[in-house]
């Protein structure tokens, strides 16, 4: 008898411990009455904040950064700027060996001087040809006077006429030759200017005022600009303002808009959060291994200069936030959706599509009385007529608020759905208006669920 009592005591202790464990681990697990024979896990609606955000990563960059390159090929003989140096616009950063370019300038200068002298010499030739032409004209005129008095032969007159025409052609040719020499002089002057420009380009100067954030060259290094411009320096105009180029997945890009708040962090300051705003959404898609994303530019302030170009930013774009709203766990939404799908075959009538409007019993009766009965054999034309009748009935029966809600639901601005509640030990489905969702909760805009017991899980006991 004592052994039986001892065994009974052990079993009692085990059962009590098991019950205590279940109560502590699953305090919200309720067992309905025997008529229902279903186990429910429930919760109460809670009040709190819900934020919908899109997460992404991006890279910090200076707002106005300029890459300084070399337009010439040659050896760098001197570097005047280093990392983090402050530079002014026009300041000398580096110098390419100017010897060969100075030689080209001297050669071009010599050609220009020669062309200028040729132009002057040709001017003298023109004057000489003009004088010869004018003298031949005077001689021809005098010979014609003597020809009348029979003192000059006709052959002499012909020779003087030919000589005059030849002198005229020589004069005209010298004028043309002057134009050619002037064109050559202009071309040589242009070559001289180009040679001077190339000589001037051996001085690598800062195009903007700012800071040197990168230097790619050393003294003695040879740069070649045959195909691509060599990158020598990178200058940033101002590091107090920076940008983040973030890649947003195509499934989330529709939620992002310019002006939205952004919070981000960097590994260098893991205990700090920084703020920014969406500045630009670029329309060009980025395809990486079949994954399509879009570049979103985010502007942020950097007054202390602690953020540096190239840092990786882990960011959240704030899409929408609701404060101090009633909310239910997403588990309640999922179980209600599954129940709604399994229960859809039980109510396929026209009224089943109006659950979200929370019709009163009087409204339901009025619609049922006026709406013709339909069956599986109803023709398409009859069904269309019934739809027109229902549309007219709704315009008469629905309140102003219900009509507005129906319009918002059709346009997609309001989202409705079911929630399962436990009333008197029985499961009921009610229509609610959803708000913002995050990874844990969904906001409930209406109705008030403060007195409801929300079902998050149920199981029929066998």
3-class DSSP string for 29-71: EEECCCCCCEEEEEEECEEEEEEEEEEEEEEEEECCEEEEECC
332 and 446 in one domain? yes
307 and 186 in one domain? no
Residue corresponding to tokens 């179980």: 335
323-343 as b/e, with b when 16 or more CB fall inside 10 Å?
A: eebbbbbeebbebbeebbeee
pLDDT of residue 409: 67
- Closest by CA to 67, choosing from 212, 224, 244, is 212
pLDDT of residue 8: 36
Element (H, E) at 168: helix 154-200
pLDDT of residue 246: 95
Q: Is residue 17 part of a domain?
A: yes
Domain end among 156, 184, 200: 200
Report residue 57: phi and psi, to 5°.
-125, 155
| Token digits of residue 47 | 């009040």
- Closest by CA to 59, choosing from 322, 187, 247, is 247
Distances from the Cα of 262 to the Cα of 50, 239, 266, 285, 301, angstroms: 16, 19, 13, 22, 12
399 and 370 in one domain? yes
pLDDT of residue 153: 75
447 and 352 in one domain? yes
Provide the residue count of the chain. 462
Distance from C-alpha of 322 to C-alpha of 50, rounded to nearest angstrom: 5
Helices (H) and strands (E) in the chain, counts: 7, 20
Spatial contact of 76 and 173, defined as CB atoms under 8 Å apart: no
pLDDT of residue 427: 86
Q: Is residue 88 part of a domain?
A: yes
Angle between helices 154-200 and 99-148 (to 10 degrees): 170
pLDDT of residue 148: 66
257 and 193 in one domain? no
252 and 107 in one domain? no
115 and 175 in one domain? yes
Distance from C-alpha of 366 to C-alpha of 245, rounded to nearest angstrom: 59
Is residue 427 classed as helix, strand or coil in its secondary structure?
Answer: strand
149 and 110 in one domain? yes
376-392 as b/e, with b when 16 or more CB fall inside 10 Å?
A: eeeeeeeeeebeeebee
Structural domain span for residue 174: 99-200
| Token digits of residue 154 | 């006709």
271 and 331 in one domain? no
Domain end among 303, 323, 343: 323
- Closest by CA to 68, choosing from 219, 237, 280, 222, is 237
pLDDT of residue 355: 63
Distances from the Cα of 57 to the Cα of 107, 264, 267, 274, 287, angstroms: 57, 9, 12, 14, 16
Q: Is residue 54 part of a domain?
A: no
Write the CATH number for 206: 2.40.50.100
Distance from C-alpha of 124 to C-alpha of 297, rounded to nearest angstrom: 70
88 and 3 in one domain? no
Instruction: Tell if the pTM clears 0.85, that is, is over it.
Output: no
- How many structural domains compose the chain? 5
289 and 310 in one domain? yes
177 and 79 in one domain? no
Distance from C-alpha of 459 to C-alpha of 427, rounded to nearest angstrom: 12
Q: Is residue 4 part of a domain?
A: yes
- Closest by CA to 216, choosing from 104, 308, 79, is 79
User: What is the mean pLDDT, run by run of 10 residues, along the chain of 462 residues?
Assistant: 42 39 42 60 89 91 90 93 92 95 96 94 91 85 71 76 88 92 95 96 93 92 82 90 94 92 94 94 92 95 90 92 89 84 52 66 75 61 70 78 72 76 86 84 87 86 68
């Amino acid at each position: 008898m004592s052994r039986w009592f001892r065994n009974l005591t052990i079993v009692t202790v085990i059962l009590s411990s098991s019950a205590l464990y279940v109560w502590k681990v699953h305090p919200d697990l309720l067992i309905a009455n025997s008529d229902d024979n279903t186990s429910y896990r429930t919760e109460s609606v809670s009040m709190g904040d819900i934020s919908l955000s899109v997460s992404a990563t991006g890279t910090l960059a200076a707002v106005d950064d300029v890459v300084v390159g070399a337009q010439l090929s040659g050896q760098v003989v001197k570097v005047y700027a280093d990392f983090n140096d402050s530079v002014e616009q026009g300041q000398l950063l580096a110098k390419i060996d100017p010897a060969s370019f100075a030689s080209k300038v001297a050669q071009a200068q010599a050609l220009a001087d020669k062309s200028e002298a040729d132009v002057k010499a040709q001017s003298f030739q023109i004057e000489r040809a003009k004088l010869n032409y004018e003298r031949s004209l005077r001689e021809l005129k005098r010979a014609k006077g003597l020809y009348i008095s029979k003192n000059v032969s006709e052959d002499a007159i012909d020779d003087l006429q030919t000589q005059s025409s030849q002198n005229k052609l020589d004069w005209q040719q010298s004028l043309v030759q002057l134009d050619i020499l002037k064109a050559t002089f202009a071309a040589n002057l242009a070559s001289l200017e180009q040679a001077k420009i190339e000589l001037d380009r051996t001085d690598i100067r800062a195009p903007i005022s700012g800071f040197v954030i990168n230097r790619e060259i050393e003294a003695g290094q040879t740069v070649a600009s045959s195909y691509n411009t060599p990158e020598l320096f990178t200058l940033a105009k101002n590091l107090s303002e920076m940008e983040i180029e973030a890649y947003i997945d195509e499934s989330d890009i529709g939620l992002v808009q310019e002006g939205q708040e952004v919070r981000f962090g960097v590994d260098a300051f893991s205990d700090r959060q920084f703020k920014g705003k969406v500045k630009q959404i670029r329309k060009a898609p980025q395809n990486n291994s079949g994954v399509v994303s879009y570049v979103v530019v985010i502007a942020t302030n950097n007054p202390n200069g602690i953020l540096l170009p190239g840092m990786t930013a882990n960011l959240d774009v704030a899409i929408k936030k609701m404060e101090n709203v009633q909310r239910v766990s997403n588990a309640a939404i999922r179980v209600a959706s599954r129940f709604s799908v399994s229960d859809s075959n039980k109510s396929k009538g026209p009224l089943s599509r109006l659950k979200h409007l929370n019709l009163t019993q009087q409204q339901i009766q009025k619609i049922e009385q006026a709406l013709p009965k339909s069956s599986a054999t109803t023709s398409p034309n009859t069904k269309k007529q019934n739809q027109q009748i229902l549309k007219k009935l709704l315009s008469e029966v629905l309140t102003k608020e219900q009509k507005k809600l129906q319009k918002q639901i059709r346009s997609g601005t309001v989202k409705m759905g079911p929630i399962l509640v436990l009333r008197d030990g029985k499961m009921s489905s009610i229509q609610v208006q959803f708000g913002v969702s995050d990874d844990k909760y969904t906001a409930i805009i209406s109705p008030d669920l403060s007195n409801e017991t929300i079902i998050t899980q149920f199981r029929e006991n066998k």
